[in-house]
Copies of this chain bind each other. A is one copy, B any other.
Amino acid sequence: MKRFILENSFYDDKNNYKNMTTIKDVAKIAGVSVGTVSNVLNELDTVSDKNKTRVMDTIKTLRYKPNKIAASLSKKKTMNIGLVIPDVSSPFYSDLIKGVTETLDAHGYNVFLCSSSGDIGKEKKIINDLLAMWIDGIILIPVYSNKRDIKEMESINTPMVLVNREIKGLTRDIVIFDNFGGAYEATNFLIKNNHKKIIILDGPKYSRPFEDRLLGWKTAMEENKLYNKNLVFRGDFSVESGYDMMVKSLNELKEIDAVFASSDLIALGALNALEEKNVLVPDDISIIGFGDIYLSKFLKPSLTTIRRPFYNIGKTAVSILLEKIAGKSDEEGFKKFVIKGKLEIRNSVKEK
């Protein structure tokens, strides 16, 4: 049973209200054909001024709103983009989300935000759902997984760009942060300030970003003849792990000059350990972090670190995606965009 509220509007039997003024109503009242109304809506220059104003007026009086679903069906274009992220609440990705949504919005696109919860099966399902909704493109931060079916992903023909994590064997455009370069720069900053014995507190081995950061540190150290494998400590990405590694290093080594922590959370744990042992930062030991999370500038001392420009990463990903959607990049193969970090100099490194 339909309950009518206004002309052309009603609550359906499920109590869902839909505004039902259609393009046909507009056409009839304006005294033109539906094609003409459509042309006005799409700003095609084939309509006479007389009819244009007539149509616009009736649109206003009828409070007509074009139905984008119907337009999408007809045009085969939805102006919707899917953004798939392992954890939507992670402070790491909030700036990325912002960069992506704001840039897409500026181009008239809307974004479906989806959380894969770090689960490869969920990620797959989400991508399938997005494809069924005929989204025009996908921006994906892939889940780490060795169960990944590359063939299946390769067969997806909707434009897609990966962010922040590479997938071996997958030939897709990707925007990635320069972990190597950031670590290299951070380490060189310490070296330039006359620190010699610089340990690294790194994350797990299976993680590519942490491997890259280790390599950046190692390269800088080797170039300055400071490398020594005893300076390497590995754990996971947690604050606790940072604490443990710092304690361990203080027990094993003497006269540490500085600490390169592969993440700000590790640095935080290390900071706690140093305070507990009454080691002064930066007077006794300097410490540099990686990532610039929100709290880093509020720590005591505020943490010198490498900032990852996630907003820009998101923005870049969008512009690549939009190019692909526009069909400009017809070439085979794929591109890799490496976004550089920025050294945020604060108070945890002694400049000498």
With contacts A65-B132, A73-B69 known, is A115 near B105, CB below 8 A? yes
- In the complex, which of the residues B12, B70, B88 contacts A98, with contact meaning CB atoms closer than 8 Å? B88
**Interface flag for A78 (CB, 8 Å):** yes
Give A90's nearest chain B residue, CB to CB: B94
Centre residue among A11, A16, A115, A128 by max chain B CB count within 10 A: A16
Residues of B within 8 A of A325 (CB): 15-16
Interface assignment of A19: CB less than 8 Å from any CB of chain B: yes
Query: CA of A110 to CA of B110 in the docked complex: distance in angstroms?
Result: 12
Q: Contact: B157 with A17, CB < 8 Å?
A: yes
Chain B nearest CB, measured from A172 CB (Å): 14
Partner of A298, one of B98, B299, B330: B299
Interface: A4 (CB within 8 A): no
Within 8 A of B (CB), among A68-105: 68-70, 72-73, 76-78, 80, 83, 87-91, 94-95, 97-98, 101-102, 105
Q: What's the nearest-Cβ distance from chain B to residue A236, in Å?
A: 17
Are the C-beta atoms of A97 and B77 separated by less than 8 Å?
Answer: no
The residue in chain B whose Cβ has the minimal distance to the Cβ of A295 is: B295
With A77-B16, A157-B19, A294-B294 already in contact, the answer to whether A134 and B94 are too (CB < 8 A) is no
Contact of A18 among B68, B76, B114, B294 (CB under 8 A): B76
Residue contacts A-B, CB under 8 angstroms, 15 given:
A14-B326, A16-B76, A16-B325, A19-B131, A68-B133, A69-B133, A70-B73, A88-B98, A88-B101, A98-B115, A101-B114, A101-B115, A105-B115, A239-B298, A294-B295
Binding site for B on A (CB under 8 A): 5, 9, 11-12, 14-19, 65-70, 72-73, 76-78, 80, 83, 87-91, 94-95, 97-98, 101-102, 105, 110-115, 117, 128-129, 131-134, 136, 157-158, 239, 268, 275, 294-295, 298-300, 325-327, 330
**CB-based contact A327/B16 at 8 Å:** yes
* Residue from B97, B129, B134, B298 in contact with A88 in the complex, judged by beta carbons closer than 8 Å: B97
The quantity of this chain's copies bound in the complex is 2
User: A105–B80 Cα gap in the complex (Å)?
Assistant: 18
Give CA–CA (A115, B94) in the complex, Å.
12
Nearest to A158 among chain B residues (CB) is B17
> Which residues of the other chain, B, contact A65 by a CB distance below 8 angstroms?
128, 131-132
Task: Say yes or no: A97 contacts B101, CB within 8 Å.
Answer: no
Minimal Cβ-Cβ distance residue in B for A115: B101
With a cutoff of 8 Å between Cβ atoms, the chain B residues found around residue A300 in the complex are 275, 300
B contact residues around A326 at 8 Å (CB): 14-15
Whether B69 and A78, one on each chain, are in contact in the complex, defined by CB atoms closer than 8 angstroms, is yes
| A157: contacting residue among B5, B111, B239, CB under 8 A | B5
The smallest C-beta distance from A322 to any residue of chain B, in angstroms, reads 12
Task: Give the Cβ gap from A279 to chain B, nearest Cβ, in Å.
Answer: 15
With CB as the reference atom, state the residue of chain B lying closest to A13: B327
